[in-house]
Chains A and B, each alone.
Chain A
Amino acid sequence: MNVMTQEIDSVTVVRIEGNLDTNTSPEAQEHFDGLLEKGASKILVDCEKVDYMSSAGLRVLLGTVKRLTAAGGSLRISGLNETVQEVFDISGFSTILAVFATEAEALKGF
């Protein structure tokens, strides 16, 4: 897994590449913890290059969005492939997270 971060206007865009699973989620967690500590309030997680995501990845996203919203911030997600979308639908994450088709769409009005 690789994580790349870019600031676009007031939004911190986090692009994840590879798998978000048991083995990679601790590193992803550290990355998000770092962003929260630095005071990021709008985070866009782009998953266009995510191959698959398991519940370990969902745990990282859920923890991040909870802390972010408690601090008055918000999180958007974009670029889910068919399988990641299925994981989101089955787990009910599609209804509790703001999911957009593409990074560009997610950036609009954020």
Chain B
Amino acid sequence: MNEACVDTPGSGVQDVLRFEITILAVENSGGREDGLRHVFALTLANRLDEIARLNEAFKEFAAEHAIPVATRRSGNVVFDELITNVINYAFDDDAEHRIEVRVEVNDHRLVITISDDGSPFNPFETDLPDTALPLDERDVGGLGVHLVRNMMDEVSYDRRTDRNVVTLVKYLEPKGKR
């Protein structure tokens, strides 16, 4: 990944768009030790080629932190689906916008957050596609969000002030069982 080539939307914004931190999780839920928590964050401009950059960076992050390949691939698919939707439909102007992506992983779960400053839109309120139609009647409209719902264990949408925030959770098998 060539970080020097990144276009920074807006002005006066810090150039470093990707950072990774590793912190020892201090909060235990019910006394359970969640182990190391790793965080990945990337800011994208609203251009489709930025999804390729995100997916490549996420692949590296997943390899570094032993995230199972199938989970990493599911993440790649949901990024492609949701961020394509944001770029194509969320913005009413031709200005550059920033899409914030954050991934947090510990031994038990992977949590993905995607936020944008586009028009309010809940992707999970869209109609379900009919996946039982015969070949000649099929199309792929609405299939992307349907994939996201089914590939993730939890999906949610929030409108927070002027941003759309989508949160996705994928449960991980305990390391010994992977």
What residues of chain A have their CB less than 8 Å away from a CB belonging to chain B?
Answer: 19, 21-23, 51-56, 58-59, 62, 65-66, 69, 81-83, 86-87, 90-92, 95-97
B132 — nearest CB in chain A belongs to which residue?
A: A92
Contact in complex: B131, A91 (CB < 8 Å): yes
Shortest A84–chain B CB gap in Å is 8
Shortest B105–chain A CB gap in Å is 17
Contact in complex: A19, B136 (CB < 8 Å): no
A22 — nearest CB in chain B belongs to which residue?
A: B84
B70 on interface, CB distance cutoff 8 Å: yes
B65 on interface, CB distance cutoff 8 Å: no
What residues of chain B have their CB less than 8 Å away from a CB belonging to chain A?
Answer: 48-49, 51-52, 55, 70, 73-74, 76-77, 80-81, 84, 129, 131-136, 138-140, 143-144, 146-147, 150-151
Q: Which residues of B contact A81 (CB under 8 A)?
A: 73
Complex alpha-carbon distance, A62 and B131, angstroms:
13
**Count: A-B pairs, CB below 8 Å:** 81
Contact in complex: A62, B73 (CB < 8 Å): no
Contact in complex: B150, A90 (CB < 8 Å): yes
Q: Which residues of B contact A23 (CB under 8 A)?
A: 48-49, 51-52
Complex alpha-carbon distance, A70 and B8, angstroms:
47
Shortest A36–chain B CB gap in Å is 16
Shortest A108–chain B CB gap in Å is 22
